[in-house]
Amino acid sequence: MKIKLILVSFLFVGSIFSQSKDDNLNWHNIDPAGLHTEQAYELFKDKKSTTVLVAVIDSGVDIEHEDLVGKIWTNPKEIPNNNIDDDKNGYIDDIHGWNFLGNSKGQMQDVACYEKVRMYRQMRDKFERLKENQVKKEDSVDYQLFITLKNEINEEVEKYQGYQKQYEQITAYIKMVPKAVSKILGKPGYTLEDLKSWKPKDEQGKQLKMFAELMLKGEMSISMMEEQSKHVNDALNFQLNVNYDDRQFVNDNPTDFTNVTYGNNILEGEDASHGTHVSGIIAAIRKNGLGADGVADNAQIMVLRAVPNGDEQDKDIALAIRYAVNNGAKIINMSFGKGYSPFQKEVYEALAYASSKDVLLVHAAGNDNKNIDVEPNFPTPLYSFQKEKLPLFLTIGASTRTPKKHLAADFSNYGKVQVDVFAPGKDIYSTVPQSAYKKFDGTSMAAPMVAGVAALLKSYYPSLTMLQIKTIILTSAKYYGRTKQVLPGTDKKVRFEEMSVTGGVVDLVEAVKMCEVEVGKSK
């Protein structure tokens, strides 16, 4: 039986499970292709820092993680667990942030539909039974969108059904590999060395060897396949299910932006791996021998749970942004995104509100290896109704440790207009719930790198505005623009400057030097 290996990305616009092994778990801070974080800290030896608050809008965070002790924001205006809205902001006992995916009974929404499914469902009653020649002229644009959504959903369902069958085949194959290989080698407890000396000539033997090697290296197992299968089943049963009610545990109308006081203060949710990983990249305790070191040594994390396993609701994101701004965050990390956004103006207004208050928005570019100048990824700094980009919005692509030809991660989105700069997003080791650690890949990992850099610079140079810091991050990026790099998702090589505004990767040492110059000007 010949098995085709497939890798599928799940959960969020920016997160993929990393299966590769690497002894250097802190590469993004110390490697020549990384942020140069450790070198930057050498420049801070005689400086004092101030605490900077970073809001993480995500899937939730394990606020009791051992490597985040002392790194979680506490609302100074709220008395814990007294069931009173002490600070009168509309949220009762919002001690460390807020969960927009729950209700007052403590129930939580963990899985949600894709936005295109929600949009299709809203239009279904109106258009499902109509043929194109029966559609009113004023409805023709909406009808074409309806057909597009329907086709996209059907294509994805078919794709995931294919994945489901293949995972079943791979799982069955994994179960028979040890016995088959042992029989061929005449050795039940074979090692990697044994496999290296085995030179199969037929295709089936070569495939057996490949699977056996992956299994011994810990890069493939039944549990991994079960985890992937769960994501496939979630896609088919919930995310792509046009009949699934993905607001049943929130008890809120996501189209009514006047109701802002829903949710609860339970911040972890069913799976907070993504948000915990993001938070660790920004602020995990440095030099404590646990996990990898966070970028910013004096950052605190405000937890805002608004991103389910599926597509986030525009309303939840808009309210989370406003909550972050109103409660003192200077940076908002947004490691999420989607291809459709029905309430663009409402989200834009929240983004513009953040910019007006000198709050920097850092957004993951997405993991579809596509040009988001052509195929949008929301939220965006430049909606169709805008004339200019939002001034305090950064979109981040994911870079790797191999700048010679594969600097852009093969999954990363790109765009000469929409993507500002790249940052490490491949093989990133960080915190996950229950005081554990894992490696993830994704632009979701690259965005908090930049959020951490912004927090670090603001911490040591508090007199600088976030607009100044944003400008410095972009201007100081290490320029790779004229190098030929593989365009994500293709075999084609293009100049790296074609993939982003700067053609560069964030460089913290150069950013610190520029901050010194900028602060010196004001003295």
Per domain, the residue ranges of the chain are 16-111+250-521, 116-239
pLDDT of residue 14: 42
* Predicted local distance difference test score (pLDDT) of residue 342: 97
Sequential pLDDT tens for the chain (523 residues): 334 444 433 333 444 444 444 447 889 999 999 999 999 999 998 899 999 999 999 999 999 999 999 999 999 999 999 999 999 999 999 999 999 999 999 999 999 999 999 999 999 999 999 999 999 999 999 999 999 999 999 999 999 999 999 999 999 999 999 999 999 999 888 999 999 999 999 999 999 999 999 999 988 899 988 888 998 999 999 999 999 999 999 989 999 999 999 999 999 988 999 999 999 999 999 999 999 999 999 999 999 999 999 999 999 999 999 999 999 999 999 999 999 999 999 999 999 999 999 999 999 999 999 999 999 999 999 999 999 999 999 999 999 998 888 999 999 999 999 999 999 999 999 999 999 999 999 999 999 999 999 999 999 999 999 999 999 999 999 999 999 999 999 999 999 999 999 999 999 999 999 999 999 887 6
Instruction: Give the model's pLDDT for residue 330.
Output: 98
| pLDDT for residue 46 | 85
Residue 3 contacts by C-beta under 8 Å, 6 or more apart in sequence? 166, 169, 170, 173, 207, 211
Picking from 485, 450, 504, 393, the residue whose alpha carbon sits closest to that of residue 54 is 450
For tokens 């002894």, name the residue. Answer: 23
Residues annotated catalytic, as ranges: 252, 274, 444
pLDDT of 19 reads 42
Topology of 16-111+250-521 in CATH?
Answer: Rossmann fold (3.40.50)
Q: What is the pLDDT of residue 523?
A: 67
Look at residues 302, 280, 379, 392 and name the one whose alpha carbon lies nearest to residue 338. Answer: 379
> What stretch of H or E contains 484?
strand 484-486
132: which 2 tokens? 């194109």
The pLDDT of residue 363: 98
Cis preceding linkage at 379, omega within 30: yes
The whole-model pTM stands at: 0.91
Distance CA 280, CA 58 (A): 13
Euclidean distance between CA atoms 254 and 120, whole angstroms = 15
